[in-house]
Amino acid sequence: MNKNTRIVSISVFSILAIISAFALMHLKFSFDFEQFFPTGDEDLEFFKQFRDDFEADDNFMLIAIRKKDGVFEQNFLEQFHDFSIQTKQLPYVEDSQSLTKISYPVKTPFGISSIPAIHIKEPEKYESDKKRLLQDERFLYNLISEDATTLVVGLKTIEGMTLGQSQELMDKLGTLIAKYDFEAHHFLGRPYFQKELVAMQKREITISAIVSGILVTLIMFLIFRKPWGIATALFSIGLGMLLFMGFLGVTGRELNAMAALYPVLMIIVGTSDVIHIMSKYVDELKKGLSRKEAIKITIREIGLATLLTSTTTAIGFISLISSRITPIRDFGINSAIGVMVAYITVVCFTTVIISYFNKDQIMEKGKMDKFWSNWMTWFYRVTKDYSRQIIWSTLGLLALCFLGISQITTNYNITSNLPRGQQITEDFLYFQNNLTSFRPMEIAVTAKSDHKVSDFVVLQAIDKVEQHLKEYPSIRAVASSTVIYKSLNQMFNSNRIDAYQFPEDEATFNRYQQMADKIPVASTAVLQSKDGTKARISSRINDIGADSIKAIGNNIDRWIGENIDANVVEFQRTGTGLIIDKNAEYIRRSLLLGLGGAILIVSLIMVILFRDLKMLVVSLVPNIIPLLMAGAFIGFAGIELEAGIAIVFAVIFGIAVDDTIHFLSKFKLVRDKGKTVDESLKITFLETGKAIGLTTIVLFFGFLVMLFSIHPPSVIIGVLISLTLFSAFFSDLFLIPILIRWLIKDQSVKIEASELVDVI
């Protein structure tokens, strides 16, 4: 490598590093439940039309104020009332509601009057107010808890709040609530989710980068033991990650819930490439070659093999593009780019830097060489002497894998995706256990024939569906346009609680309708469309799991089909929750499609590379087993298969195939020099086995860095990938030699080493 090449390479990477450092300041973070909508789904298109007719079902912010001894205490109620009034002045808030601002309509001989739901200035009426409110389905769980220790302020926010708007609202809300002497408070709503989950993403990226850096530093020290070797390896890995993150900043690609994996991924992929390159360079120097000759051989053999492994790893990630979920697709594309950035950095920068050093400046020769030599010799002998036992053990393992895979379910929930030990999780669970959950369940109502949704027969059907929904304990906060007529019926019946029901006869309904028509349009617009042909039943359902919610939804659909005249009115479930839950239906399909495509492409690469179908079998079998083991682990551990967890299969396949390619490439190069199958295998074990072992250790502990995550799916992903990639190491070293001895004979040499290099 001449001097000019070195100078140009170092200069180019220095400029790119500076640009990337500035680009880090422009990294974009985002969190939006709409990101998880499956694109191209027919129910999604219906939901979009539903939102156009009414409004979004997540444009709310709830503040629960708790008083352990009970909320019916004058000083508390006065503070709460003042707070609920002040919330109306918060930015991006269109309206606020609470029990202290609500009044009951009352019919008197002098006309219609009203009485407050809570008589704040009259403590003697607190007991009767409490009894009445806890029996009122409009307010129980919505604005007051069943034990009367919590009151809720409900804020209606503008639609489609951005991250910046959410952060501003939450900051102002935090400042406001700090002015009051409340015992405890809990938040629930889109602005809160956006602010807190983006903060979690930033924390995850920072922590994973720091912990990964410490881990890699330790590993590099154990491997190289020389300051220049350690510094070169760490600088190369860090440079690759800097260039990748800079690329994301320059291109404006948003970092979402999957972003915490990027630092770990870039560090371990870069580490793997660095170990293979630097180990090969040192090995060639040990043979007595000059630095120039050693770097040429390193680039020709390991550099080109690493290009192939990087390509197959990128293909594994690109397979995620088949997913209908935007964050998953983005993760696949970004990760594929990151893998290639790491490769280019190592081949074009690391090789330049190490060419300045002799072997004694890079790596210290010690007991590690003998350690790896002994282990690789052991693997070689075991695969030769105990091949039958290994095959039978593998078949038994496969049977166990299929049993575990059969137990996989997709009943995931929101709670399992919330950060551990954080306030947002505590708040979410508090609302679910004491008030209403976050998951909206909407039912779109469409009047048929010449009917309007304000007709008696249509509203009667809506009420029947409402009453059915209330039979499910997990469904709360049910509301529709029938609330107007129920309230009027209650008013005309001395405000009795049991009179809050839809009128039984049409004559009574017609009498109420004259009054209902006088209600301002703005008050009813969220419940029925302007043209009077559509309406909605709004509710929220507890976070009981996607499959469980789907089962309830199917029961509701079946009941409606059996009890409602479809010629009069049509009902269809919709809403944010239902659309996100549909991801479960696409996970398995997109997973199989994506992986199938990746395996096909890798197979074609193997065929082109080795020009031998037998080598295709040898390369694929050891890499399919880790995928099956990952599925079995998910099944046996009771882990729900959801969008985030599903990416592990692409990661596992993309990375696991690397070691296979390094092993087979070395085997073929040695084999084509005239060595026998057994001699080629032994040399491959001794020269490539060490690098494979080291990279596996890096991969294993690298992904275990995710144990420091507070995001449960990230922890599961890290553990799952670590365990299965470790199994891939044993799968390669045990099965590849057996398959080679079985399929390849000594007289079958067909390709010269020089031809292999040309193909690569």
Looking at this protein, which amino acid is placed at residue 593?
L
- Checking if the pLDDT of 758 tops 50, the result is no
Q: Is the dihedral of CA 223, 374, 689, 303 positive or negative?
A: positive
- Among residues 625, 618, 722, 728, the alpha carbon closest in space to that of 680 is found at 618
* pTM to 2 decimal places: 0.79
Average pLDDT over residues 709-733: 85
Q: Write the pLDDT tens digit of every residue in 468-501.
A: 999 998 998 888 888 888 888 888 888 888 888 8
Q: Write the pLDDT tens digit of every residue in 206-237.
A: 888 888 888 888 878 877 778 888 888 888 88
552 class by beta-carbon count within 10 Å (0-12 exposed, 13-18 middle, 19+ buried):
middle
Give CA torsion, residues 388, 389, 395, 397, to 10 deg. Answer: -160
Q: Write the pLDDT tens digit of every residue in 164-213.
A: 899 999 999 999 999 999 999 999 988 998 888 888 888 888 888 888 88
H helix intervals, 324-386: 326-345, 351-354, 359-362, 367-385
Q: Which residue carries 């880790």 as its tokens? A: 626
Which SS3 state, helix, strand or coil, does residue 112 take? strand
Q: Write the pLDDT tens digit of every residue in 121-144.
A: 999 999 999 999 998 888 889 999
Q: What is the set of domains in the chain, with CATH numbers?
A: 1-30+225-365 (1.20.1640.10), 60-158+161-195 (3.30.70), 373-406+582-760 (1.20.1640.10), 430-581 (no CATH)
- Checking if the pLDDT of 366 tops 70, the result is no
Looking at this protein, which amino acid is placed at residue 651?
V
Residue 521's pLDDT is 45
- Checking if the pLDDT of 355 tops 80, the result is yes
Looking at this protein, which amino acid is placed at residue 494?
S
- Checking if the pLDDT of 626 tops 90, the result is no
pLDDT band at 754 (very low <50, low <70, confident <90, very high): very low
Let me know: does 741 contact 646? Beta carbons within 8 Å.
no
Residues with Cβ within 8 Å of 9's Cβ and at least 6 positions away in sequence, in order, are 348, 349, 352
- How long, in residues, is the chain? 760
- Checking if the pLDDT of 315 tops 70, the result is yes
* Cα–Cα distance for residue pair 405/69, rounded to 1 Å: 50
* Cα–Cα distance for residue pair 317/651, rounded to 1 Å: 6
Q: Which residue carries 């405890």 as its tokens? A: 184
Q: Write the pLDDT tens digit of every residue in 537-594.
A: 988 888 888 888 888 999 999 999 999 988 999 999 988 777 777 766 666 666 666 6
* Cα–Cα distance for residue pair 188/170, rounded to 1 Å: 11
**H or E stretch covering 154:** strand 150-157
* Cα–Cα distance for residue pair 178/304, rounded to 1 Å: 61
Q: Write the pLDDT tens digit of every residue in 420-431.
A: 888 999 999 999
How many CB atoms are closer than 10 A to CB 698? 24
Let me know: does 714 contact 261? Beta carbons within 8 Å.
yes
Q: Which residue carries 């003998």 as its tokens? A: 370
**φ, ψ of residue 114 in degrees (nearest 5):** -150, 155
Mean pLDDT for the chain overall = 83
- Checking if the pLDDT of 749 tops 50, the result is no
